Amino acid sequence: MPSFRFCRPDDSSLLIEATNQAFNIHFPRLVPITEEKFKREIKELDLWTSSCVLASEDGKPIGVLIAAKREEAATILRLGVVPRFQGHGYGSHLVASLKDKMSVLGPALLTVEITENQAGLITFFQKLGFELEDEYYDFMFQSELEESSLPELVSEIGVDDLGSRFLHSSDGEFQVGEGFLAWMRQTQTIINQKNSVRGLGIPDLDGFAAYLYYREIQGSGACEGGSYVEIVAIGCRIREKATILCGILIRYLLSQIQSRILVPRLSKSEISYDILEEIGFVRGARILRYGVGIQ
């Protein structure tokens, strides 16, 4: 029986090794995890080594769970077992270990985000009591747009200007809180990334009528290489004006860059999917968020 233990800050190299051997091996297109990337996830995603679980046999890693944690919830970023050790319940044991620790120390919610085509992984988490909570879509823009006709409306803004997000429910009302957003799109993530994030806004008497925050990702940051621009947040105070105002921001951004644009793990509370598709974005992968309450 392998040994299972939670990790310490000085276990980072072991966690990197375990991730590449037990998780990345199942996804050949993924770029191997490096020390630099791991440290970046600690800073940007609030990855806690103390919430990571390592399974070892004869001193060698055979399974790993990588988790991030904030006040309201924790999320599983990666979970993997070396292929020849699969089928023995070790993955379930890794998750159970984290749930047991959270039942004592909190937080009270554990989530995981899974691409829709990973049916086996979805079934795995459902058997552990996880229930579907939300869905997101990736969007990509590679076409050409006419230049913004109203560039004078656009101002550069900082992350500190983000303030309260313009998040709308299906009936157009503002939603309170943002726990339903994908982990990578929550405001805390954007604050953590503030040195690399730039913002565009359309000012009005109440501050900003619409905003768009983005960052440039170099080739090593993409699983298949190639640089791109990632929109990390987008919103409009008045939902009915989003097509016009967010369209102006996107056109302005396109006039300033020469890269493809990705909008990963977008919740429809940020902006209607129809609006992005009207502008020319193509809908990609569907991502499902599952969660389980911790007693």
| 174 and 284, same domain (yes or no) | yes
CB atoms near residue 291 (< 10 Å): 20
How many CA atoms are closer than 13 Å to the CA of 173, on its beta-carbon side? 4
Are residues 83 and 24 part of one domain?
A: yes
175 and 51 in one domain?
Answer: no
56/142 same-domain check: no
In a domain, 78, yes or no: yes
Strand 60-69 with 74-81, pairing: antiparallel
Does this model's pTM top 0.75? yes
Same domain, 201 and 69: no
Of the residues 55, 86, 107, the one at which a domain ends: 107
Contact in structure between 98 and 80 (CB atoms under 8 Å): no
Residues 82, 8, 84, CA angle at the centre, nearest 5°? Answer: 5
CATH code of residue 101: 3.40.630.30
* 120, part of any domain: no
Q: How far is CA 128 from CA 21, 94, 151, 169, in A?
A: 24, 11, 51, 29
Same domain, 141 and 278: yes
**Residue 113 within any structural domain of the chain:** no
Residues 52 and 191 in one domain: no
Q: Whole domain around residue 274: which residue ranges?
A: 137-291
| Co-location of 103 and 168 in the same domain | no
The Cβ of residue 123 has, within 10 Å, a number of other Cβ atoms equal to 10
- The whole-angstrom separation of Cα 221 and Cα 231 is 15
The verdict on 148 and 271 lying in the same domain is: yes
Q: Report how far residue 71's alpha carbon sits from residue 58's, in angstroms, rounded to the nearest whole number.
A: 36
Does residue 122 fall inside a structural domain?
Answer: no
> How many domains in the chain?
2
Residue 123 lies in a domain: no
pLDDT of res. 223: 47
Q: State which residues of the chain have pLDDT below 70.
A: 143-150, 171-172, 176, 219-225
In the prediction, which pLDDT does 221 show? 47
- Number of other residues whose CB lies within 10 A of the CB of residue 147: 10
If asked whether residues 142 and 103 sit together in one domain, one would say no
Cα 262 to Cα 226: distance, rounded to the nearest angstrom: 12
Beta-strand pair 207-217/131-141: unpaired
Question: Do residues 103 and 141 both lie within one domain?
Answer: no
> CA 34 to CA 220: how far, in whole Å?
10
Contact between 217 and 242 (Cβ < 8 Å): no
Residues 143 and 287 in one domain: yes
* 44-76 pLDDT tens trace: 999 999 999 999 999 899 999 999 999 999 999
pLDDT at 171: 66
Contact in structure between 239 and 172 (CB atoms under 8 Å): yes
Residue 147: CATH number of its domain: 3.40.630
Cα 176 from chain centroid (whole Å): 20
